[in-house]
Structure 1
């Protein structure tokens, strides 16, 4: 009987610990004050955070002034970009992020991309975040835009789009995914 009670107690403690670990929440919209860079976002962020000072100074201007490639936008809609997950690593201290992150957001707004399929992770100058996701994704430069489907990476845009347009690079990633599906079928 004593052994049974001990086993029940141990199992109860393990279950309670597992529940506590899974109940931990990811902090969203964390902002830190740095000596060299002033205010900086760190970790998981929501789009609205970039509409606040001091981030709105660069975000709104780049977002509003960016002229999208409408053909590429139409291709993204046709290729169902909304069925993919996107994770973007960026730095609020980084000029490339200041340019390309607002552009990406404007593109996603235009294609009516669901916000719940987008993960925005802000990193510090060492490319680190509180959750350590940068290690899992092997982030070396920012911004890095990662496109995934069914938990598998399809492609990424690192630091700046190779075509000069994020939307064109995204179309190329989706076309590559379509081609890989066709190749699987033909094997």
Structure 2
């Protein structure tokens, strides 16, 4: 049976509550009118509204140019360094490496990345120590870069500042700091206990990486019980699931949304998102069951009815 479900429904039917959910057009070569330049760094593309965005490996110098300079300069110049904490940081950053994942379409990235650069500048971090990577927000390449530098790094929110020492990743600041950039970064490099935002998703990622993980109802229940105090909204898992889905990890997307439906059994969006993952997997009966669950929760739900109609074609 041929499925005609349109995955762009992810952006309209399945709304995720996040500050960085602006929908961008696919890059050139995918049948859109988007434009793409081909240099190794500072690649750009236009979204459907005509806004220019960076994509893939980039440079701080490009962020300081139009049209990005309007927000880069604002947040760089407007940030006040905690000099006392930064003074402790400075000697500890000399041999560290940093990778920043961001999106020029993302409000959190526009605010936090200039602040990150100002702090790293103050601490004397060299440009050679920093790698800047811009990810896409197109439905077909969500939170991905053309070079897939994000692969294996569990990048599900941006900006994401990864800190590396000689032993590998020392820690990361996800989306925004818990206390402040200075204090969070100091905790990371001093190897103090530090948990970035979205600890529930971080826990789930650890479970997926474990050889003990099994996609069973009992395992879902166990994970849900552990994550319940740490998850504030089903959209946290939906955002992670979307990254898994568009990156080709369909089973992990299903696992995440199975847990989301356990944590939020009355949330119609969670079941619709799970249905989307099942469609990608090719499990039409399971997708239909999710839509039917939505209609039980909310009779006449237009999204579920449209979803079912698409599955029947």
TM-score range, shorter chain: 0.7 to 0.9
Could you say what secondary structure the match of 1:113 adopts? Answer: coil
1:175 aligns with 2:187: no
Partner of 1:28: 41
Structure number with greater CO (CA < 8 Å, separation at least 6) is: 1
Partner of 1:150: 166
Q: CA RMSD in A?
A: 1.9
- Rounded to whole Å, the distance in 2 between the matches of 1:134 and 1:95 is 20
Distance 1:37 1:120, change over 3 A: farther
- Rounded to whole Å, the distance in 2 between the matches of 1:113 and 1:140 is 26
- Rounded to whole Å, the distance in 2 between the matches of 1:127 and 1:151 is 26
In the TM superposition, what are the counterparts of 1:76-91 in structure 2 within 5 Å? 76-78=89-91, 80-91=92-103
TM-score by length of 2: 0.47
In the TM superposition, what are the counterparts of 1:35-74 in structure 2 within 5 Å? 35-36=48-49, 38-74=51-87
What's the CA shift for 1:166?
1.0
Structure 1 residues 37-81: Cα deviation after superposition (integer angstroms, max 9, x where no partner)? 610000111110011111001000100010111111101113x21
- Rounded to whole Å, the distance in 2 between the matches of 1:109 and 1:161 is 18
In the TM superposition, what are the counterparts of 1:128-143 in structure 2 within 5 Å? 128-143=144-159
* Segment of structure 1 superposing worse, 97-106 or 130-139: 130-139
- Gaps in structure 1 of 5+ consecutive residues: 1-25, 178-187
Structure 1 residues 102-132: Cα deviation after superposition (integer angstroms, max 9, x where no partner)? 0000011111101111000011111110111
What's the CA shift for 1:151?
5.6
- Among candidates 64, 88, 105, match of residue 93 of structure 1: 105
Q: Which has the higher strand share?
A: 1
Number of residues paired by the alignment?
Answer: 152
Could you say what secondary structure the match of 1:124 adopts? Answer: coil
- Rounded to whole Å, the distance in 2 between the matches of 1:151 and 1:97 is 27
Moved over 6 A (4+): none
